[in-house]
Amino acid sequence: MATVRESLSVNLSGKVALVTGASSGIGAAVARALAANGAMVWVNYLDETTVTAAETVVTEILEAGGAAQLLQADVSSEPDVLAMFSALGSDPLDILVNNAGIAHSSPVEALEVADFDRLMGVHLRGTFLCTRSALKKMYAQNSGRIINTASQLAYIGAPGFSHYTAAKGAILSFTRSLALEIGDRPITANCVAPGATMTPILADVPDDVLEGIRQNIPAGRIADVEDIVGAYLFLASDAAGHFRGQCLSPNGGDAFL
pLDDT digits (tens, 9 = 90+) for 122-143: 999 999 999 999 999 999 999 9
* Whole-number Å distance between alpha carbons of 198 and 228: 11
Question: Edge-to-edge strand order for the sheet containing 95-98?
Answer: 67-72, 40-45, 16-19, 95-98, 144-149, 187-192, 247-248
Q: Interhelix angle for 229-236 vs 25-36, to 10°? A: 50
Q: 45, 139, 155, 164: which is the annotated catalytic residue?
A: 164
Phi, psi of 41 (to 5 degrees): -115, 125
Distances in Å between the Cα of 34 and the Cα atoms of 26, 38, 66, 84, 173 are 12, 7, 9, 20, 26
As a whole-number percent, the residues of the chain with pLDDT over 70 amount to 96
DSSP-derived pairing of the beta strands 95-98 and 16-19: parallel
At CA 7, angle to CA 235 and CA 24, rounded to 5?
A: 65
Collapsed DSSP state (helix, strand, coil) of residue 22: coil
Mean per-residue pLDDT of the chain: 93
Range with the lowest mean pLDDT among 96-105, 127-136, 147-156, 213-222? 213-222
The enclosing H or E element of 28 equals helix 25-36
Domains of the chain: 16-248 (3.40.50.720)
Residue (of 219, 225, 230) closest to 202 by Cα position: 225
pLDDT tens profile 144-162:
999 999 999 999 998 999 9
* Whole-number Å distance between alpha carbons of 29 and 244: 24
Distances in Å between the Cα of 219 and the Cα atoms of 195, 226, 227, 235, 254 are 11, 15, 12, 23, 8
- Predicted TM-score (pTM) of the model is 0.94
Let me know if 164 is a catalytic residue.
yes
